[in-house]
Amino acid sequence: MQLKDKVVFITGGAQGFGKAVAEAVLKKGAKVCVADVKVDQGEATAKELQASSGADNVLFVKCDVSDASVFEDAFKAAVSKFGHVDVMCNNAGIMDERIWEKQLEINIGGVVRGTMMALNHMRKDKGGRGGVIINTASTAGFLPFPWAPTYAASKSAIYHFTASWAENPDMKSADVRMVSICPPGAKTALLDCIEEKVINYEHFKQFIDRYEFCGVDQVVEEFLLAMEDDTINGTAITIKGKEGVEKMKMTLIPAE
């Protein structure tokens, strides 16, 4: 997919990976809807992006991905502004084991809601234009992550949800690709006040003190790859720090 004049909807777009992806796609000529529950930060991000890329190319919408009606209103606002959405980035997420129910509602519930809204809007067999849906998972979804078990479970669910939808036989006629991005730890707002959000922080601190974080720019590159390479579908793109990336694809075993 060529990104020029395409419309990209990004949840959790006010900061971190979301903001960085918004900046990158705008440079390629796309239009962006920054969706975030943090209104002040979202409006500030939108204003900054509008100053560099044009007011008509950037929209901010308040969006709580755990609230179905609010999320739907935000998506409709983007469609009303730009006419359509070509790329859906379900990127909003939290890591906080104290509120594990809310964590699941945002991390996996938000991804499911966003995917289904975008799919219904995009699918060519229902009158849409096709497109790509990119869901932010994590390497914590593949490996034991004892400091945040519910967070890890939510990210594993995102990977399997994305890969399973991509294998659905109806997706060929829908012409909508599905990709998950699975970064390791990066220094973003997800780690703010982390000592209160994980189990056994002292043990976790020993781990992160020797951990090699990946760069936000590395993650952005893989978002762009997922958008622009039309051959990538049902794939988990895993960022492996200095080792580059790995592309994993779940294969359906045919029934006999």
Q: Can you give the CATH number for the domain in which 235 is found?
A: 3.40.50.720
CA distance 116 to 71: 12
Domain of residue 123: give its range: 7-248
Scanning 36-148, the segments in alpha helix (DSSP H) are 39-53, 68-82, 100-104, 110-122
pLDDT profile of the chain (256 residues), mean per 10: 98 96 98 98 98 97 98 98 98 96 98 98 97 95 92 96 94 96 79 88 87 84 95 84 50 41
- One-character DSSP codes across 5-64: T-EEEEETTTSHHHHHHHHHHHHTT-EEEEEES-HHHHHHHHHHHHHHH-GGGEEEEE--
Q: Is residue 211 part of a domain?
A: yes
What pLDDT is attached to residue 256? 37
CA distance 188 to 210: 17
What pLDDT is attached to residue 9? 98
What pLDDT is attached to residue 241? 52
Closest-CA residue to 252 (of 143, 152, 169)? 169
By the 8 A CB rule, do 75 and 85 touch? yes
CA atoms within 13 A of residue 173's CA, in its CB half-sphere: 5
- 205 C-beta neighbours (distance < 10 Å), count: 13
Active site residue 151: yes
Q: Is residue 198 part of a domain?
A: yes
Tokens of 48: 């900054």
Question: Which residues make Cβ contacts (< 8 Å) with residue 153, sequence separation at least 6?
Answer: 104, 141
Q: Is residue 61 part of a domain?
A: yes
Q: Is residue 22 part of a domain?
A: yes
- 242 C-beta neighbours (distance < 10 Å), count: 8
Q: Is 34 left (phi over 0), alpha (psi -120 to 50) or beta?
A: beta
> Which listed residue (151, 159, 201, 211) is catalytic?
151
Task: Look at the chain and report how many structural domains it folds into.
Answer: 1
Closest-CA residue to 224 (of 11, 57, 5, 30)? 30
Q: Is residue 77 part of a domain?
A: yes
- 240 C-beta neighbours (distance < 10 Å), count: 15
Q: Is residue 2 part of a domain?
A: no
